[in-house]
Structure 1
Amino acid sequence: MLIKDIIEALEKDAPLQYAEDFDNVGLLVGDKNTKATSALITLDTTEAVVDEAIAKNCNLIISFHPIIFKGLKSLTGKNYVERAVLKAIKNDIAIYAIHTALDNYKKGVNAMLCDQLNLINQRILIPQKQTIKKLTTFVPKAEAEQLRNALFDAGAGSIGNYSNCSFNVDGIGTFNANQDANPTIGKKGETHYENETQINITFPKHLETKILSTLFKTHSYEEVAYEISTLENTNQSIGMGMIAQFEQEMEEKDFLNYLKDKMKAPYVRHTQLLNKKIKKVAVLGGSGSFAIGAAKASGADAFVTADLKYHDFFQAENNILLVDIGHYESEQYTKNGLVAILTKKIPNFAFVLSNTNTNPVKYF
C-alpha cells in the first residue's frame, strides 16, 4: 500500500477542499508514492512524536494539526518546527495533516466531541457556505437516462438523505456545425433540430473535476453545452461546530463536573451560572470564540469550546453558559477518531495510536 492510498481513503470523507483558507493541510513532508509501512496517528507532530514513529517503525505520521503552518525560509533546526521536520526527513517519515478539513466534516472533530459527551441529535452549528454546485446540461433525449446514471455514479444528485435527485425538462435544441466540426448528429452547414433533455443536477464542490470528466466521457456531442453555478443552499453535511443535546437535562454545576470528568480537564473556565438546566449544548473543538453568536442563535444552553479571551466571555450576556475546557482537551480524542475511521476503511493496515501527550499547557 502506498501513502497516497491512505490519503485518498481519508480524503474521501474529509476532502481538503473544505479546509479553511488560512489552513495548511495535506501531505507536508514526503513522497505520496512511497510504500507505507505503518502510520502513527497523533494530534500534533512534535520531535517526540517523530521519535515515537521511528521507534514503532512508522514511516507516515497522520497529524490533526499541521507542523508547518507558516512558510519555512530555512531548515536549520533553530526551532521545534524545523527540528521535527528535519528529523522526519532524515528518517524518511512522511507527515500528513488534515486539521480544518476534519473540523468541517460532519463526522469529524466536533462529532467526536459530541460522542465523548454522549450528546444526541447532532447537527452542524455553522454550515459552510457555497459548497453545493449545480450542473445544467443538454443531451439528446435518447441518451438522457445513460448520462443521468453516469452522473449519479460519479456522486452527483445527493441531497441530504436522498440520492439520484435531478430535474429534467424536454425541449428542442438547435446547432449548426461549421466545416471544421465533426458532428455526431446533423450535417455540416445545416441547422439541426434535436429533441433534447435539459438535466439539472447538484453536486458537492470537491467533485467538480470528476463530474465534468464524467459528463464529457458520457456525452455524445463533440461540443458539450453545460453551465455550472454555485448555490447558496445550506449544506448540513459540511461546517464548523455541532449543536446537540443530552437525553436528560442536568444542573449547571453537575454539567461542569461532567465536562471535567469526560474531557479529563484539570479545570474549566466559564461565565456566570444562570441557574437553569443544561440540555441543549453547542460544541466546537479548538479555538471557537467566532462561534459564540451562532451558539446563542441556536438556542443552546451552553457552548463548550476553547481559547476564549477575557472579552469573549462578555458575549454570553446572561443568555448562555460559555465554557472553555482547553484547546488540547477539546480535541484530544480526535486521534482516536481518526484511528477508528482509517481502521474501518483499511482494516489490514497498521494504524498506531500515538501515546505521546503533546499538550504544551501544564497546570499547577
Structure 2
Amino acid sequence: MKYANGHEIIQLFESWSPKKLACMDNDPIGLAIGTLNKEVSKVLVTLDVNGQVADEAIAKGCELIIAHHPPIFRKLSNLRTDTPAGKLYEKLIKNDIAVYAAHTNLDVAEGGVNDLLADALQLENRQILEKTYHENLMKLAVFVPDEYAENVRLALAKAGAGAIGNYEGCSFSTNGQGRFRPLEGADPFIGDIGEMEKTDEEKIEVVFMQSIKNKVLKAMLNAHPYEEPAYDLYTLAVETNEMGLGRVGRLKEPMTLEQFAMYVKTQLDVPKVRVVGDTKKQISKVAIVGGDGNKYIHAAKRSGADVFVTGDISFHIAQDAESIGLSIVDPGHHVEKVMIDGVAKKMEQLCSKAKLSVQFIQSEINTEPFTFI
C-alpha cells in the first residue's frame, strides 16, 4: 500500500462517477476549494459542507472532503470572510482542506444516489426513469497484412473494442488485396520506393463506445506494422451506455400507499413523509428521484409507476400529480444522505484495488435544516 495523491483519489472517483454524466446546466461539480496536488490519507464523505462539517474534518485530520452538494453553487462576486459562506471557505483554506463536489453526475452514476435509494427500498427489475446520457457506437475498419491481423485484433480487444453486451473481442474480417506505391521519404514495411506493391490483407471491423475512441486508435496504430495504416472510422446511429436520473422498479410485495409511506420512513430513516393520493391505493411499481423531483412527475407517470418518491414537492406540483393519478411520497431532500455510506464504501473498494492507503470517514454531522415537531 502507498499513500495517495489527491489527484489519484479523484481519478478513481471519476472512473465511477465521471463529470460527463452531470445533467444540470452549469452544475458546479469538481474541485471547489483547495488543491488536489498533495498527499491525502483521510477523506471525509458528506452530503453537505457547513461549518460543523469543516470542524469535523479538522478534528479528524482529513485533507479532503467529498460532498454531494457543491459548497459554492453560484458564482462569487467577492470572497469576504465576514459572511457565513466566506468564513467557511476561509476555515477550509487555512486548514488546507480541499473540497470536491459530485452532484448530478453522482445522481446518474450506476451505484450512485438513485441506485442507493432504490437499494434501500429493495426495488426489483429496476430501470432508468429519465435518460440523460448516452454514447454513440463507432466502427473502425482497418486493413492489415494477413500475417499481422491476429496481433491487431488482440490489441483492439485489449483496448475495449468489440465489446457487445456480455461478449468481448467481437470482430468481423474480410480478405482482399491492398495496393500502394511508397514515395520518396517513406519508410515502407513492405515494398520498395517508387514501385507499385500488391499484398494480401485482411479488413478487420470492430465497434466500440465513442468514449474510448482515442484508446482504440492508439492500440491499433501501435500494433499495426505499417508506417501509414489505412483505416476508416464511422460514427454509428446506434446509442449505447444509456444512463439517467431516477430509477423505476417493483416492490417485492404490493402494499397500500399508507403502508408504503411507513415503509419509506423506516427504510430511508426519516421522521415524517408527505403523501399525495388515496392511502388505500395498492402500490407495486415505484419511481424514485433523490433530491428535488418536481420536474419528473410526468416521467414517473409515463413509466407506469403507482407512486413517485422524491423530495421538495411543491403545492401546485402535488396538485398536478393528484390530477394525473400519480401518488407521491415526499421524504424530503435530505434522504440523499445515503451517498455518505455508499460513496465511502465504493471508494474504499477502488482504493484498495489500486493499493492506495486512504481512510474514508463518514460524516456524523446531521445537515438536515428542518426539524419536525
> Aligned ranges for residues 27-42 of structure 1 at < 5 Å?
27-42=31-46
- Kindly indicate whether the alpha-carbon contact (under 8 Å) linking 2:256 and 2:279 is maintained by their aligned counterparts in 1: no
Q: Which residue of 2 aligns with 1:324?
A: 330
Number of the residue aligned with 1:354: 363
The structural deviation recorded for 1:193 is 4.5
Residue 280 of structure 1: aligned partner: 285
Correspondence 1:214-253 to 2 at 5 A: 214-224=219-229, 225-229=231-235, 231-236=237-242, 238-253=243-258
Aligned to 2:169: 164
Distance (whole Å) between structure 1 residues aligned to residue 76 and residue 234 of structure 2:
37
Aligned counterpart for 1:203 among listed residues 209, 214, 222: 209
Aligned: 1:11 with 2:14: yes
Contact 1:171-1:197 at 8 Å conserved across structures: yes
Question: For 1:86-97, what aligned pairs fall within 5 Å after superposition?
Answer: 86-97=90-101
Quote the offset at 1:91 in angstroms. 0.9
Between the aligned partners of 1:171 and 1:291, the Cα distance in structure 2 is 54
Q: Displacement, 1:248?
A: 0.6
Q: Using a 3 Å threshold, how does the CA distance of structure 1 residues 14 and 154 change in structure 2: closer, same or farther?
A: farther
Amino acid at match of 1:34: K
**Alignment correspondent of 2:271:** 266
Instruction: Judge conservation of contact 1:50–1:87 (CA < 8 Å) in 2.
Output: yes
Q: Quick one: structure 1 residues 86 and 184, their matched pair in 2 at CA, closer, same or farther if it must change by over 3 Å?
A: farther
* Per-residue deviation, residues 158-183 of structure 1 (Å, max 9, x unmatched): 33433333444444445454434444
Change (3 A) 1:85 1:156: farther
What are the superposed Cα offsets for residues 122-166 of structure 1, whole Å, 9 maximum, x if unpaired? 222223343233131313044333233323323333334333334
| 1:125 and 1:242 in contact (8 A); partners too | yes
- Once the two structures are TM-superposed, the CA of residue 231 in structure 1 deviates from its matched residue by 4.2
Q: Is the 8 A contact 1:168 1:200 kept in 2?
A: no
- Any unmatched runs of 5+ in structure 2? none
Is the contact between residue 137 and residue 239 of structure 2 (CA under 8 Å) also seen in structure 1?
no
More strand, by proportion: 2
| Residues 55 and 121 (structure 1), Cα distance of their counterparts in 2 relative to 1, 3 Å cut | same
- Deviations 1:185-237 (Å, cap 9, x if unpaired)? 444445555523132212252x344333333333333334342526442534x
* 2:39 partner SS: coil
1:274 to partner: Cα distance: 7.1
Structure 1: state its 5+ residue gaps: none
Moved more, 303-312 or 276-285: 303-312
AA matched with 1:254: Q
The count of corresponding residues between Structure 1 and Structure 2 is 361
* TM-score normalised per structure 2: 0.87
Tell me by how many angstroms 1:325 deviates: 1.8
- Following superposition, the deviation at residue 283 of structure 1 comes to 1.0
Distance in structure 1 (CA, Å) of the matches to 2:310 and 2:147: 55
Give the distance between the partners of 2:114 and 2:78, measured in 1 at CA.
35
In 1, distance between residues paired with 2:76 and 2:181? 56
Superposition RMSD in Å: 2.5
Larger Rg: 1 or 2? 2
Contact map agreement 2:137 2:240 (CA 8 A) in 1? no
| Structure-2 separation of matches of 1:266 and 1:321 | 20
Q: Give the aligned partner of residue 68 of structure 1.
A: 72
Instruction: Find 2:47's aligned residue among 36, 43, 46.
Output: 43
Q: Percent of counterpart pairs with the same letter?
A: 36
